[in-house]
Structure 1
Amino acid sequence: MGYQEKKQIVLDELEKSLGAVKEEEVEQFVDMICDAQQVFVVGVGRVLLMLQAFAKRLNHLGIKANYVGAIDEPAITEHDVLVVGSGSGESVVPLEIMKIAKKYNAKIVHIGSNEHSSMKEYEDLFVRIPCSTKLGLEDEVKSEQVMSSLFEQSLLLLEDSVASMIVEKKQIEDVHALWKMHANLE
């Protein structure tokens, strides 16, 4: 199979996975982000990279966002939101970070596939992207891609959709003006 066929597989799978996300969960997610003083993100591996991209985008939108473990990471408080990315919901480091965030009464959003994970008792909101995970749950969107690529792609595109919803909610009319928030030491 060549590029065109592989590209179509990716696009078809993304349509299925993102099409299965519940709009009301995403709307709640947007509200939580907009109501927070700060947003923190945590995940591992490629999921963390997708979340770091989201934190960067939130900063472009004027929302203070950080990733857990950054050298300049501030303290989390009850006015903040922790966004956790974990398809399986069983990733050890994000789970432990959730427990700590709960001690500080932060709100927690878990974006994942497994709605019955170990993270369930700590999350205030679960946004489900029903993609294939290492657990191989029956109701997951099956993928022909490598490992958890579909989840990571879906996560990034979900976050970009959320960013667009935030622009609308905050009534940012001049999106070109957002470039002033973009890094300029490049």
Structure 2
Amino acid sequence: MKKEIAVILEEVNGVFHKMDGTETDELLKQLQSENRIFIVGEGRSGFMAKAFAMRLMHLGVNVYAVGETITPSIAKGDLIIAISGSGSTKSVISVAAKGREMGCKVFSITTNDQSDLANVSHEVLLIPAATKNRLDHETKSVQPLSSLFDQCVHVLCDAVCLDYSLTQSISHELTYSKHSNVE
């Protein structure tokens, strides 16, 4: 199992070495605004989106996961963060397009800056990781489907949360106080 873990870590590292470190600056700036944030994704990317939303909630951000029963309607000035490796997931594109139509800022995280999702977004954060489509511009991977993209999204979003918590001086104790206590 150590060999497989080493392969995964090497692949994730390879993707991050291809990225320009400034690509998250706009996302961090948006998180520091007073706007509500709606995060959307489907499948495993949806799980990464919900993990990101959960951690942002722990950090005190006014955030919602699209599709949950308690998610309110979007309004002008809100931020939508749409996550799709391929950038072609219809439900994610639909939410992003509706958000843009309503006057929301749309920020996408994808591998494809020529995708339908990228085309309806104001900002695109490119993660050049392998997806199920295995396009030429994607980093090669021995892992199945979009595993590499999803792993990179999770690590990147955790890094964004770490940066946010440090710049906002949010303590572990404060985040822990927002952790669920009805489990």
TM-score by length of structure 1 reads 0.94
CA distance in 2, matches of 1:107, 1:14: 29
Q: CA deviation at 1:135?
A: 3.0
- What is the RMSD of the two structures over their aligned residues, measured on CA atoms? 1.2
Q: Are residue 181 (structure 1) and residue 163 (structure 2) matched?
A: no
Give 1:175's aligned amino acid: H
Runs of 4+ in 1 over 4 A off after TM superposition: none
Give 2:31's aligned amino acid: I
Question: What SS class does the counterpart of residue 185 from structure 1 fall into?
Answer: coil
Q: CA deviation at 1:73?
A: 0.5
Give 1:165's aligned amino acid: D
Deviates more, 1:130-139 or 1:55-64: 130-139
Q: Are residue 112 (structure 1) and residue 110 (structure 2) matched?
A: yes
CA distance in 2, matches of 1:169, 1:97: 30
Aligned length: 183
Determine which of 97, 100, 108 is the counterpart of 1:99.
97
Deviates more, 1:16-25 or 1:119-128: 16-25
CA distance in 1, matches of 2:109, 2:65: 15
Deviates more, 1:141-150 or 1:174-183: 174-183
Quickly say closer, same or farther: Cα 1:86–1:36, change in 2 above 3 A. farther
Equivalence map 1:1-186=2 (5 Å): 3-172=1-170, 174-186=171-183
Q: CA deviation at 1:78?
A: 2.2
List gaps (5 residues or longer) in structure 2. Answer: none
Q: After superposition, what is the alpha-carbon deviation per residue over 1:61-119, rounded to whole angstroms, capped at 9, x for unaligned?
A: 00011111111111212221111111111111101111110111111111010111112
List gaps (5 residues or longer) in structure 1. Answer: none
Question: What SS class does the counterpart of residue 87 from structure 2 fall into?
Answer: coil
CA distance in 2, matches of 1:68, 1:46: 15
Question: What SS class does the counterpart of residue 53 from structure 1 fall into?
Answer: helix
Give 2:155's aligned amino acid: L
Q: CA deviation at 1:36?
A: 4.2
* Partners of 2:131 and 2:148 within 8 A in 1: no
CA distance in 2, matches of 1:168, 1:69: 30
Deviates more, 1:91-100 or 1:76-85: 76-85
CA distance in 2, matches of 1:181, 1:78: 27
* Partners of 2:131 and 2:147 within 8 A in 1: no
Give 2:178's aligned amino acid: M
